[in-house]
Structure formats: C-alpha cells, structure tokens
Structure 1
Amino acid sequence: MDFVRYAERSAGLVNADLGDTDHLIHFLDERQWLHAAVAERDAGALRRFVKDLRPVFEASNAGDEHAVVALLNALLAKHPVTPYIAGHEPGRWHMHVADRDSSVSELLIAESLMGLSTLVCDLGATRLGVCDASGCTHVFVDTSPNQSRRYCSDRCSSRANVAAYRARQRAASA
C-alpha cells in the first residue's frame, strides 16, 4: 500500500466539492472502477467526514502535534479500519484497507485515515498544511525533504510570489 498517496488523496478529499454523487464520481475520475459502486449516501458520509478531517490539517499547520494525534485517534475510533490480505494472482499477496463489502465512502475514509496515520508516524505530525495563499483554504501534504511547503499548488505559489514581488516593487518606487 502506498500510504503517502492515501494521505495525499485525503487532502484532495478535503479540497473536493462533494455536493452530490456526480461530484464524487468526478473526484474519483482516476479510479473509474469505483464509479459503479458510488451511492447517494457516500457523498453525504464523505462531507461529514471531511468536516471532522479538516481540523487535523489545521492542527498540523499550527504545529500542534498532540492535537493532530488526538484528532486522528478519535477518527480511527469513530471509523474502524478493517484491512485484509488479498491476492489476485497466486503468491502475490497485498493489503487492502477496507473489505470488499465496504462502501465507497468507507474505503475512502479508511484510505485517508491509514495514509495520514502512517505519514504522521513515519514523517511527523506537522507534515500537513493549509495553503498560505491569500483567499485559498485548500490543504496539502508536505513530503518535501526540508518540510518547506507552504502552498497547495504551483498556481497558488506563483500567485503569492508575484504578489510579493509587485509589493516589493511598489515599496521600492515609493
């Protein structure tokens, strides 16, 4: 299992528009095998989960490691993960974070929680952030070697850098 990818997907989940099943299917664009299993209740369950998950990113962004761990532990207790070993070919065993009877929302919640929990244990509890760009509230996962990420995307980073440059130019010419 690629837990960093699961953690990054959890940030995408927090940032996603999950207004209805069509929006959820759009979010799952790269995972088309899940589309047929999406049910109306999945979008609602994920919207509720995201409200509980966002504070984890905010606590990490604030450097509050104890809050990150407490919030994740509370979410793990609320949404128990039931991993299982699967094999699609003889001798090629691997783990799934949710059993085959799980709904799409249960799968995405399990992936998010396992990804974030593993990331916190492996890289630290302050690797999650909220974009520094003015007007942006998106979250992100920082896997940079020096933990220096401040923006959710290159677009936000560029806009913030251009704005700072223009502000310096105005200050220099004043």
Structure 2
Amino acid sequence: MDLVRYAERAADLVNADLEPTEAVDAYLADRRWLADQVTDKDARLLRRFQKELRPIFDQRARDAEVVDLLNSLLGKHPVTPYIAGDDADSWHLHVSNKASTVADLLVAEALMGLATLACDLGPGRFGECQASRCDAVFVDTSPNQSRRYCSERCSSRANVAAYRARQKALAREDAD
C-alpha cells in the first residue's frame, strides 16, 4: 500500500472534473477495473467529497486545523481495512473491504494517504498552486517543503511571467 500515492491521488481527486458521471471514468483511466464499476451514486458522493477535501489544502489553514479537518472526515467516512493474500508471503493491507463501493474505496485511500502523510511529514505538506489563474491543489513531498506550484507547467508559466515583469520594469527605468 503506497500511502504517499494515495495522498497524491487525493489531490488529483480535488483537481478532477467529475461532472458528468462519465468524467469519473477519465479520472480512473489508470484503474479500469474501478472505472467499470462506477455508478451515478459513486459520482455524486465523490463530487461531495471533493468539496470536503479542498479545505485541507488551504494555504491559510494552520496545522491543527488541517488535523481537525482530517479527523472530522475520518469520523464521517470510517475506513474498513482488511488483510488480503493467500499466505504470509503475499499478505497485504487494503484500505477498504471487498463490499466497498468505488466511492468508499477512493475516499478511504484519500483519507488514509493524507492522514499518514500528515503524521509522517506534517500537515503543512498540502497546498494550493500559487500560479495566477490556477486553483489546483498538490501534495508537497519535497525534502525541504518548498513546493509552490501544482505542476512544472504552472511553475514555468509563473517564472516566465515574473521574468517578463522584471524586464518590463527595467525597460521603464531605462526610459525614465
């Protein structure tokens, strides 16, 4: 079980467009076995859960607030893990039981990933992209907790915009 990946998928879930129900299939493109099981109810629950998760990534939230939000969501969406496998060499942990719906599984993965990351690296590892006109969220697993953008694309765009602004200011100074 890769809990960092689950935390990153939680950010992907917040960033995903899940309207209409078929859009959930696109979000689950790398997990076809789940996409084939998605119902309208799963899609509705996931859209609601997206809204519940977003405040965890709010840059203004203090560590204690993030922990309180996670604990509240863990209480609201209990996780039902189980051990799977055939013998001691193949036993592994799943975050939800076999009877779980797709929404239950994705919610459990997201919460366990975020909660574990908050405990291991600190709750300050969740953030919002600092690029203008971008509202995407991300999980910061960098060694020095320095991530500011959701992607290389946003980082490059922001750096180019800052460079052009500096060049424009220099040109104005030279003209004066």
Superposed, which structure 2 residues align to 1:154-173 within 5 Å? 154-173=152-171
Identity %: 62
Q: Which residue of 1 aligns with 2:4?
A: 4
Q: Which residue of 2 aligns with 1:147?
A: 145
Tell me which moved more, 63-72 or 129-138.
63-72
Amino acid at match of 1:5: R
Q: What's the secondary structure of 2:48's corresponding residue?
A: helix
Q: What's the secondary structure of 2:138's corresponding residue?
A: strand
Tell me which moved more, 84-93 or 150-159.
84-93
The structure with the larger Rg is 2
CA distance in 1, matches of 2:49, 2:22: 18
Assess if the C-alpha contact under 8 Å between 1:133 and 1:157 holds in 2: yes
Q: Which runs of 5+ in 1 are unaligned?
A: none
Match 1:117 to one of 115, 118, 142 = 115
CA distance in 1, matches of 2:36, 2:86: 21
Q: Which runs of 5+ in 2 are unaligned?
A: none
CA distance in 2, matches of 1:63, 1:127: 11
CA distance in 1, matches of 2:97, 2:142: 32
Q: Which residue of 1 aligns with 2:54?
A: 54
**How big is the shift at 1:63?**
5.2
**How big is the shift at 1:88?**
5.0
Q: What's the secondary structure of 1:140's corresponding residue?
A: strand
Runs of 4+ in 1 over 2 A off after TM superposition: 88-91
Q: Which residue of 2 aligns with 1:18?
A: 18
Amino acid at match of 1:7: A
Amino acid at match of 1:55: P
Q: How many residue pairs were aligned?
A: 172
**What do residues 107-155 of structure 1 show as CA deviations (whole Å, max 9, x unaligned)?**
0000000000000000001000000000100000000000000000000
CA distance in 2, matches of 1:122, 1:18: 30
1:86 aligns with 2:93: no
Q: Which residue of 2 aligns with 1:135?
A: 133
